[in-house]
Amino acid sequence: MKKLSFLQNTIVLVLSNLITGSLAFLFSIILSKEIGAQGVGLYHMIMPIYMLFICFTCGGTTVALSKITAEQNSRKNISELYKGITASITFFAFWTVLVSIFIVLFAPFISDNILKDSRTYLPVLIFIPALLFVAMGSILKGYFYGLQNSTFPAVIDIVEKSVRIIILVTLITYFKNWDLKYKVAAAVAAMTAGEFISFVLLYIFYKKSYFSVSDFTGRPDNVFQIIVNVLKISLPLSLNGFLSTALGTLIAIMIPRRLQVAGFSVESSLALYGKLTGMGMNIVMFPSIIVSAISIILVPVISEASSGKSMTAVNRRIKPILRITALIASLSAGLFFSIPNELGKLFYARTDLGNIIFSLSFGVIFMYIESTLFGILNGLGRQSVLLQNTIIMSLIDVTSLYFLVGVPNINIYGYAINFVISPLAGCILNSMEMKRITDVQIDVYDTFVLPVFIAVGEILILNIIKPLIYVIWGNTNISSLILLASGIGSYIFIYFLISLASKKRAK
């Protein structure tokens, strides 16, 4: 199979993530229009439970198989590479089936005693088959990423998201006049169907890749040792993801209840939580799909470079990636700060999302950079340190959200305050570890000062032209689109002006 370069892989995954991210965004827009804020809140109470079991069954397997595949391929040990894939599929399939049986038995307890809403029972049962499809698919994705050929997973992700939307629209139309719980169940069923399609296509392309191999060089370890090698990498990541997702589950349960303490009704609390997690956060995190693509590619690339003791090559990758992340984050933060009402109206046709989007804008740069640092440390094999840092961040999250969200004058904006505090702590902890391992120190000017300075210019320009655009086009979606394009254009223009000035000064 042809190995793509780092740049080619990045371009493929960025384009794929842009398309799949846009499709996922479209999914959330359709969902919000069809089931309302309260339904979205219910859906986003179920998803952390689903992700919790994903982490428990196959957390870290994509990264583990990506790392192991890259290493075995570089050593030309093809026999162990494919034996590892087969052994992993067998082991994780058996484990996932056991976990699925457990969920079936305890689904009533999960819905009534953990989520405290009997309407979640049916959706919990419906997501069970998806666990097996995701577990198998994550192994096969790790195989392709490890070979540094991201084309197949990228195309399949696009197909999966498209299928999910088609099935969602079909089912929601059928259940249009049914109770809310059936509409939420339909959304979960669409997700399960999408994961099934994804696994089937991944398996077909994997077998095609397998049959194209002519020489199975090297001698494989025994099956037990192969599984141990996979678990050594995946278990810390799985525990890391499990803790993060358990935190997400706790937050999903805690925030509506703390909002009730702050004086909101049960329905209003669930609706407000739905607007935050199912709408506001979708807008704020949408640009991060580019950062996520780069982080995925970084793992096998850094792993391969570090296994060859080429720390110079590792350092050469890290600095520009951090700079790109900071630029994307600050550009996005400037948009969320300047035109939050317009973005809420443009994407969700709602006028009550502006304050939520605005409040989240302050933590965007820290969240994006923390995500990239996480990917770098993953590639360097520092899973145990990431687990330790995740525990610290989790304690910050739970503590700050518990106290802040319950305060009547702060309520849901306690989430936005924590959106600054927790990622900032993660940036500090992860950058300290990165410097210790690679001797790369985050350039404060390139990573924070310059991007924020450009974002300030972007904000000023948007605030100047906003009244003029409203005079010409009024408060319409056309105005919102023009402002969005103007914000992006002004940021890029200022960046190139500064870059040009810096080059002239250097001469």
**Are 55 and 193 a contacting pair, CB within 8 Å?**
no
Q: How many degrees, rounded to 5, is the angle at CA 338 between CA 334 and CA 343?
A: 100
Question: Is residue 441 classed exposed, middle or buried when 0-12, 13-18 and 19+ CB atoms within 10 A define those classes?
Answer: exposed
Would you state the pLDDT for residue 394? 86
Tell me how far apart the alpha carbons of residues 126 and 116 are, in angstroms, rounded to a whole number.
18
Confidence of residue 67 (pLDDT cuts 50, 70, 90): confident
Q: Of residues 324 and 343, which shows the higher confidence score?
A: 343
The dihedral sign for the CA sequence 264, 269, 275, 281: positive
Which helix H or strand E contains 88, and what residues bound it? helix 78-109
A 10 A CB-CB count for 163 gives 18
Dist CA 342 CA 324 (whole Å)? 26
Closest to 402 measured CA to CA, from 387, 418, 390, 389? 418
Structure token pair of residue 365: 């740069």
Phi-psi region at 350: left, alpha or beta (left = phi > 0; alpha = psi -120 to 50): beta
Residue 429: per-residue pLDDT? 94
> At a CB cut-off of 8 Å and minimum separation 6, what does 453 contact?
none
Grade residue 85 by pLDDT with cuts at 50, 70 and 90.
Answer: confident
How high is the pLDDT of residue 307?
Answer: 58
Mean pLDDT (the chain) is: 86
Q: Kindly tell me if the per-residue pLDDT of 137 is higher than 60.
A: yes
Tokens of 49: 């439970």
- CA distances 442 to 110, 337, 445, 506, Å, are 44, 25, 9, 22
The pLDDT of 321-338, averaged and rounded, is 92
Residues ≥6 apart with Cβ < 8 Å to 109: none
Q: What does the alpha-carbon distance between residue 295 and residue 374 come to, in Å, rounded to a whole number?
A: 8
pTM recorded for the entire structure = 0.79
In 339-382, alpha helices (H): 340-348, 354-360, 364-379
Q: Which of 27-31, 323-327, 371-375, 490-494 has the highest mean pLDDT?
A: 490-494
Residue 7: what pLDDT? 62
C-alpha Rg value of the chain to the nearest Å: 23
Confidence band, pLDDT 50/70/90 cuts, at residue 62? confident
Percentage with pLDDT > 70 across the chain: 91
475 pLDDT higher than 60: yes
**Each residue of 89-110: pLDDT tens digit?**
999 999 999 999 999 999 999 9
Q: Are 401 and 255 in contact (CB under 8 A)?
A: yes
Residue 184 near residue 123 (C-beta atoms within 8 A):
yes
Cα angle at 275 between 193 and 33, to 5 degrees? 55
Cβ–Cβ under 8 Å, residues 274 and 44: yes
Say what the pLDDT of residue 411 is.
92
- So where are the chain's domains? 17-286, 288-507
298 neighbors 379 (Cβ within 8 angstroms) = yes
For residue 505, give every residue at least 6 positions away whose Cβ sits within 8 Å of its Cβ, in sequence order, or none.
none
CA distance 51 to 138: 13
* 3-class secondary-structure state, position 190: helix
Pairwise CA distance, residues 463 & 486, whole Å: 11
For the stretch 159-193, pLDDT in tens is 999 999 999 999 988 888 888 889 999 999 999 99
379-416 core/surface letters (b: 16 or more CB in 10 A; e: else): bbbbbebbbebbeebbebbbebbbebbbeeeebbbbbb
